[in-house]
Amino acid sequence: MEPISATTTMSSLSPQRQPDSPRPMTPASPMIEATTAFDQPVKLKGRHRLLQGLQRMSSSPSLAKLGRTRSSEKVYKSGQRASISCVSLGSPTGSYSLSPPNSYTPQLSNAYSTAPTTPGTPGSQQSYFEANSRLRLIESNELATASLPLDIRTSKPLSTPLPEISEKPFLRRPNFDFWKDMPHELRIHILGFLTPKEIIRVSAVSKQWHDMCFDGQLWTSLDCQTYYQQITSDALIKIMLKAGAFVKNLNLRGCVQLRDQWLSLGTRMTNQECRNLENFSIEGCKIERSSIHFFLLRNPRLVHINMPSMQNINNATMKIIACHCPQLELLNIDWCSQIDTKGLRKVIQSCPNLRDLRASEVRGLDDTDFMLELFQRNTLERLILQHCESLTDEALQIMVHGLDPERDVLTDRPLVPPRRLRHLDISRCRSLTDRGVRALAHNVPFLEGLRLCQNTALTDDALEDLLQSTHRLTHLEVEEVDQLTNATLINLSKARAASTLEHLSISYCELIGDVGVLPLLKACPEIKSLCLDNTKISDLVLMEASEQVRRRGSTTKRSQIPKKGLELVAFDCANVTWAGVREILQGNGRVMQGRKKSVVQTVVEELGDEKKYRKVIEIQELLYPSQIIHLKAFYGWQQTVEEHYKRCVTGRWNAAARLEEKWADWMVASEEVGVINHGWNSRRRRRRAREAENRVRDDEDGAAQDTGTGDEGSGLDYATRPAHGGRRRARSGGCVVM
């Protein structure tokens, strides 16, 4: 048998194979070219042939198979070699691979295996990535991809491109301290919502908080009126020094703890530029005159100065105010007995913006030059001259009319500009008479408040023309004016001021009664305070007051809380009884039935033909009072009145009605006991009469030996012992019926 050439063997084993296509070969089999096939030695036979065909195979690719191959693919053909276990029997002429397409083939094992091959096995001279393998090496000069046909191309990309990741790493955000990183102005603004006591309390949190709490911006207004008893002098001085130039409102009312530190305090405050004060109040402080002058000299922007009851200030203080406080608008020097009109005159001349002057108990108001200066300036809107005995009729006329004014030919009234006074208080000016008060008529059209208390020389003629010419009057007080009668109230009820009057006090006007008060209540719809104590009013006034307040309005809302519509003072009135007080209680808690509200309801009946008819339903509405009266009556009834008022204010109408009913029953029962039995004193008198009658009977029987207690008014039982030792009936002071 002749040997077959290599070219013949290759063509017979692989029919229809293209000459340029690569062939799969085992890694150990060298690629034999057709031109060198005849240069090989003679083909071995037998055992030598078998040993030459055996070669070492790497087991790693075999173990890396992910799945078991199908049996249909493992077809063994004659003339082909396959790998069994770790031994490959494939010859260089084999063209069929036994491995499935999705598994690792022996052709790839040489490329990736690290295990040594059999010595003497020649290396492959051709690429391991053949055409039949899954991976094929592509030359650089070949196309990497092939374009798809136009009919199967998509309009959108098959996959979205991944976003580019910045190579710069993200910086970690630093921790944010809300309070520490907040601007200083915002922290001060937040602390400004706290009260002074709360600011001092939170200053102990830390040193930083301590500095913030004593910042001058928080103490622009230093008002110690509410907490002056709870703050020490050191803390108060510290606040005042820290405030420095920021403080504008300084109210040291009642701060007596600064008595020994005023001089040094004033020096330190002014050295720290505390020169922006606008409001300065030292009421109730024990301060030296030099310290007061020190503050006044260094604060030219003062607008309000409040120094009542300061006995150590005098006209020199007024001179300093006149020279260094030109913007002054309010000056309160009440009860400063060392000041007279000479010092006040300088203030009036130098302070053109002065609106409010309170100079009670000031001496020298009969000075013509001072009153003429007030007339010429005409800037005052509030003037308080209480307890000024030097104020006379002539001085008041000069202040209102001036000196020798021109007069109207028809009415004989002075032709002068009207005064700007809105509030005038000339109480306890005992030198005033009707002539001085009549000078105010037709010259104070803007007057809203007038106090003429304890001017005993005034009569009805003083107020007759004045009440007719003051159309804006809201407050009128004429307490303890003994000569006023009902004519004044009748005149007031007919005036235009009755529609605006809110407060009226006629206490201790013992000549005023129901005749004057009843028409006033009907004519004053806006009155809110009425003081009628120690007058001759009766229960009719209380009934009318309850009716007038009830007419001011009502509400259908049960939950709406009523407000106080009238403050009525009616104690120490001899003609006011508990029946009138009961009328007030009933009016406060009375729930009335209003008009019936008609509601139309449509009803449809389906009985063959549809019929519609309307049904009218009437709903009863309840009306609750929107305003009630706060009454001050006899002290024995006031506790019940206050409890009833408290229940009405809280909307407990049923509880208020029960209280009023029980109190009325108790008052009726107490009156019946007083009328029938004449009280405890009458029963004691009757008991004494019975005891005297028993003694008389004993004397008639001849046994006048009294063995009782000897206390005839004690009410104890006693018996008499007969002289002959006979048995007598026991007597007692008990009820005859029993």
> What is the arithmetic mean of pLDDT over 392-397?
95
Q: How would you write 283-330 as a 3-class SS string?
A: CCCCCCHHHHHHHHHCCCCCCEEECCCCCCCCHHHHHHHHHHCCCCCE
Task: Answer whether residue 421 is part of any domain.
Answer: no
**Last residue of some domain: 197, 219, 241?**
219
**Lowest-confidence segment of 254-263, 295-304, 384-393, 520-529 by average pLDDT:** 254-263
> Which whole-number Å values give the CA distances from 549 to 490, 577, 629, in the listed order?
20, 20, 7
> What is the arithmetic mean of pLDDT over 519-537?
95
Please tell me the predicted confidence (pLDDT) of residue 644: 95
Q: Pick from 623, 664, 630: which is nearest to 646 by CA?
A: 630
Please tell me the predicted confidence (pLDDT) of residue 392: 95
Please tell me the predicted confidence (pLDDT) of residue 43: 67
Helices 486-494 and 460-469: angle between axes, nearest 10 degrees = 10
Q: Which two tokens stand for residue 613?
A: 């008819």
Q: Are residue 662 and residue 551 in the same domain, yes or no?
A: yes
Cβ atoms of residues 573 and 591 within 8 Å: no
Please tell me the predicted confidence (pLDDT) of residue 381: 96
Please tell me the predicted confidence (pLDDT) of residue 4: 41
> Which whole-number Å values give the CA distances from 532 to 500, 510, 630, in the listed order?
19, 10, 13
Top mean pLDDT of 81-85, 139-143, 396-400 is at 396-400
Q: Which amino acid is at 388?
A: C
Task: Answer whether residue 646 is part of any domain.
Answer: yes
CATH number for the domain spanning 189: value is 1.20.1280
**Last residue of some domain: 64, 90, 107?**
107
Please tell me the predicted confidence (pLDDT) of residue 172: 76
Q: Are residue 554 and residue 655 in the same domain, yes or no?
A: yes
* Domain extent for 193: 183-219
Q: Is the model's pTM score more than 0.95?
A: no
- pLDDT, mean over the chain: 76
**Last residue of some domain: 196, 219, 242?**
219
In this prediction, residue 274 has a pLDDT band, given cuts at 50, 70 and 90, of confident
Q: Sort strands 87-88 and 221-223 into parallel, antiparallel or unpaired.
A: unpaired
Q: Which two tokens stand for residue 139?
A: 């030359």
Share of the chain above pLDDT 70, in %: 63
Model confidence pLDDT, tens digit, residues 200-241: 889 889 998 988 998 888 988 888 888 878 888 788 888 888
In this prediction, residue 446 has a pLDDT band, given cuts at 50, 70 and 90, of very high
Cβ atoms of residues 417 and 378 within 8 Å: yes
Q: Which amino acid is at 305?
A: I
The DSSP line for 120-165 is: TPPPPSS-S--TTSS-----TTS-S--PPPGGG--SS-SSPPPPPP
Distance, in Å, from the CA atom of 68 to the CA atom of 501, rounded to the nearest integer, reads 113
> What is the arithmetic mean of pLDDT over 365-377?
94
Q: Are residue 205 and residue 243 in the same domain, yes or no?
A: no
* CA–centroid distance for 485 within its chain: 49
Q: Where does residue 154 rank: exposed (0-12), middle (13-18), buried (19+ CB within 10 A)?
A: exposed
> What is the arithmetic mean of pLDDT over 486-494?
96
Task: Answer whether residue 154 is part of any domain.
Answer: no
Residue 609 has pLDDT above 70, yes or no: no
Query: With the C-alpha atoms ordered 361, 362, 363, 364, is the resulting torsion angle positive or negative?
Result: negative
Residue 667 has pLDDT above 50, yes or no: yes
> What is the arithmetic mean of pLDDT over 580-589?
95
Q: Which two tokens stand for residue 566?
A: 């009238």
Q: Are residue 674 and residue 551 in the same domain, yes or no?
A: yes
Task: Answer whether residue 606 is part of any domain.
Answer: yes
Query: With the C-alpha atoms ordered 710, 712, 713, 714, is the resulting torsion angle positive or negative?
Result: positive
> What is the arithmetic mean of pLDDT over 682-686?
59
Element (H, E) at 606: strand 592-607
Model confidence pLDDT, tens digit, residues 451-468: 999 999 999 999 999 999
Please tell me the predicted confidence (pLDDT) of residue 693: 57
**Lowest-confidence segment of 62-76, 347-361, 431-445, 641-655 by average pLDDT:** 62-76
In this prediction, residue 726 has a pLDDT band, given cuts at 50, 70 and 90, of very low
Q: How many helices (H) and strands (E) does the chain have?
A: 23, 19
Q: Are residue 87 and residue 211 in the same domain, yes or no?
A: no
Q: Which two tokens stand for residue 427?
A: 């109480």
Paired with 331 in beta bridges are 305, 357
In this prediction, residue 621 has a pLDDT band, given cuts at 50, 70 and 90, of confident
Please tell me the predicted confidence (pLDDT) of residue 489: 96
Q: Are residue 579 and residue 658 in the same domain, yes or no?
A: yes
Please tell me the predicted confidence (pLDDT) of residue 595: 66
Element (H, E) at 234: helix 233-243
> What is the arithmetic mean of pLDDT over 603-614?
58
Q: Are residue 197 and residue 255 in the same domain, yes or no?
A: no
Model confidence pLDDT, tens digit, residues 88-107: 444 444 444 444 444 444 44
Distance, in Å, from the CA atom of 525 to the CA atom of 310, rounded to the nearest integer, reads 43
The SS3 assignment for 371 reads helix
The SS3 assignment for 32 reads coil
Contacts of 26 (CB under 8 A, 6+ apart): 55, 83, 88, 90, 92, 94, 106, 107
In the chain, the number of structural domains is 4
Q: Where does residue 476 rank: exposed (0-12), middle (13-18), buried (19+ CB within 10 A)?
A: buried
Task: Answer whether residue 331 is part of any domain.
Answer: no
Contacts of 8 (CB under 8 A, 6+ apart): none
Distance, in Å, from the CA atom of 521 to the CA atom of 517, rounded to the nearest integer, reads 6
Q: How many other CB atoms sit within 10 Å of the CB of residue 208?
A: 11
Q: Pick from 146, 126, 122: which is nearest to 136 by CA?
A: 126
Q: Pick from 577, 569, 586, 734: which is nearest to 670 by CA?
A: 577
Q: Sort strands 83-84 and 87-88 into parallel, antiparallel or unpaired.
A: antiparallel
Q: How far apart are the first and last CA of the chain?
A: 171
Q: Are residue 670 and residue 563 in the same domain, yes or no?
A: yes
Please tell me the predicted confidence (pLDDT) of residue 227: 81
* CA–centroid distance for 576 within its chain: 44
Q: Sort strands 592-607 and 609-625 into parallel, antiparallel or unpaired.
A: antiparallel
> What is the arithmetic mean of pLDDT over 705-715?
37
Cβ atoms of residues 71 and 126 within 8 Å: no
Distance, in Å, from the CA atom of 206 to the CA atom of 519, rounded to the nearest integer, reads 68
Model confidence pLDDT, tens digit, residues 29-53: 444 444 444 455 666 677 777 776 6
Distance, in Å, from the CA atom of 268 to the CA atom of 273, rounded to the nearest integer, reads 9
Task: Answer whether residue 362 is part of any domain.
Answer: no
Residue 9 has pLDDT above 70, yes or no: no
List strands edge to edge, sheet with 554-555: 554-555, 609-625, 592-607
Please tell me the predicted confidence (pLDDT) of residue 342: 93
Top mean pLDDT of 2-16, 191-205, 433-447 is at 433-447
> What is the arithmetic mean of pLDDT over 253-271?
69
Cβ atoms of residues 37 and 5 within 8 Å: yes
Q: Which two tokens stand for residue 590?
A: 């009375």
Share of the chain above pLDDT 90, in %: 44
Q: Are residue 579 and residue 668 in the same domain, yes or no?
A: yes
Q: Are residue 85 and residue 193 in the same domain, yes or no?
A: no
Return phi, psi of residue 11, to 5°. -70, -35
Task: Answer whether residue 90 is part of any domain.
Answer: yes
Residue 692 has pLDDT above 70, yes or no: no
Q: Are residue 557 and residue 664 in the same domain, yes or no?
A: yes
Residue 502 has pLDDT above 90, yes or no: yes
Residue 677 has pLDDT above 60, yes or no: no
Please tell me the predicted confidence (pLDDT) of residue 108: 42
Cβ atoms of residues 578 and 540 within 8 Å: no
| Residue length of the chain | 738
Task: Answer whether residue 290 is part of any domain.
Answer: yes
Q: Are residue 290 and residue 271 in the same domain, yes or no?
A: yes
Residue 132 has pLDDT above 70, yes or no: no
